[in-house]
């Protein structure tokens, strides 16, 4: 029973340690995720800026070529040359229309990306501050928990040395499978672990305290405590 009390306290301490460490890990993952998205968007923005400048340059060059071709239309010497120049102008117009569509799409994407980048930068700053504060606040708690766990483990090792190895092993298996309740009281003819009625003979044997008995239903280790022992 004393070993179980230590083990249950150890489980709680380790659960608290895991929970605290998990909170820090979660904050770090959030920071990393926001940073990763921000890096990606900033990279896209940089590449988009280069692409927009290229499109603007090509568009300006296309407009210049169109103006040049139109000037030459007025100087065409025959219908064949006039027709050829007209085809070239139409081709240049189509190309410029394509460039304009690409440029518009790039600008719209940038407009949508900009606010997200601003939001992410603010969120990232908040998360970093939250992580820094949490790490400072939790550092002391983590050390206290680790000290408490180390002490409990030392006490447990001392206590476990007095229990036969086979019984200790069986206790540990039950403790793991039965949610931290391996030792249960037998009271009023019933196992308080699973609430099942115990055979009368077994219940009588428990009261003699001559050997270890197990619940036939849940396999927990049973103990009996008389009214005098309770007092």
pTM over the 0.75 mark? no
Q: What does the block give as tokens for 96?
A: 């410029």
Nearest-angstrom CA–CA distance, 16 and 40: 36
Q: What does the block give as tokens for 117?
A: 């980048």
pLDDT score for 228: 63
- Of 160, 184, 200, the residue at which a domain comes to its end is 160
pLDDT score for 65: 86
- Of 160, 195, 211, the residue at which a domain comes to its end is 160
pLDDT score for 221: 96
Question: Residue 95 belongs to a domain with what CATH number?
Answer: 1.10.287.1490
- Of 125, 160, 195, the residue at which a domain comes to its end is 160
Let me know whether 108 and 143 are in one domain.
yes
The residue ranges of the chain whose pLDDT is under 70 are 76, 227-231
Let me know whether 170 and 132 are in one domain.
no
pLDDT score for 174: 95
Which helix H or strand E contains 172, and what residues bound it? helix 165-177
Q: What is the CB-side half-sphere exposure of residue 55 using CA atoms within 13 A?
A: 19
Let me know whether 150 and 196 are in one domain.
no
Give tens-digit pLDDT for 12-24: 888 888 887 788 8
Among 127, 137, 98, 146, which residue's Cα sits nearest to residue 38? 127
pLDDT score for 211: 92
Let me know whether 109 and 20 are in one domain.
yes
Let me know whether 154 and 172 are in one domain.
no
Nearest-angstrom CA–CA distance, 155 and 5: 11
Task: Give the chain's domain count.
Answer: 2
Let me know whether 169 and 65 are in one domain.
no
Give tens-digit pLDDT for 154-207: 999 999 998 999 999 999 999 999 999 999 999 999 999 999 999 999 999 999
Let me know whether 127 and 181 are in one domain.
no
Let me know whether 175 and 132 are in one domain.
no
Let me know whether 181 and 154 are in one domain.
no
**Structural domain containing residue 122:** 2-160
Q: Which residues contact 198 (CB under 8 A, 6 or more apart)?
A: 186, 189, 190, 191, 206, 215, 216, 222
Let me know whether 106 and 75 are in one domain.
yes
Let me know whether 184 and 149 are in one domain.
no
Lateral strand order in the sheet of 213-214 = 190-191, 183-187, 221-223, 213-214
Q: Would you call 191 helix, strand, or coil by DSSP?
A: strand
Let me know whether 32 and 93 are in one domain.
yes
């Amino acid at each position: 029973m004393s070993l179980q009390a230590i083990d249950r306290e150890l489980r709680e301490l380790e659960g608290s340690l895991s929970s605290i460490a998990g909170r820090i890990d979660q904050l770090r993952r959030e920071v990393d995720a926001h940073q990763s998205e921000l890096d990606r968007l900033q990279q896209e923005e940089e590449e988009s800026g280069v692409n927009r400048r290229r499109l603007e340059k090509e568009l300006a060059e296309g407009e210049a070529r169109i103006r040049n071709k139109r000037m030459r239309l007025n100087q065409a010497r025959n219908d064949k040359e006039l027709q050829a120049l007209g085809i070239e102008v139409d081709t240049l117009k189509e190309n410029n229309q394509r460039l304009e569509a690409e440029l518009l799409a790039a600008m719209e994407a940038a407009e949508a990306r900009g606010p997200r980048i601003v939001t992410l930068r603010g969120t990232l700053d908040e998360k970093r501050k939250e992580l820094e504060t949490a790490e400072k606040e939790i550092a002391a708690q983590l050390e206290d928990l680790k000290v408490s766990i180390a002490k409990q483990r030392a006490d447990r090792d001392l206590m476990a040395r007095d229990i036969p190895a086979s019984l200790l092993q069986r206790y540990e298996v039950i403790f793991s499978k039965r949610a931290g309740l391996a030792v249960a009281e037998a009271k009023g003819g019933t196992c308080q672990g699973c609430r099942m009625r115990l055979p009368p003979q077994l219940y009588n044997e428990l009261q003699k305290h001559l050997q270890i008995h197990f619940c036939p239903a849940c396999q927990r280790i049973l103990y009996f405590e008389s009214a005098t022992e309770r007092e």
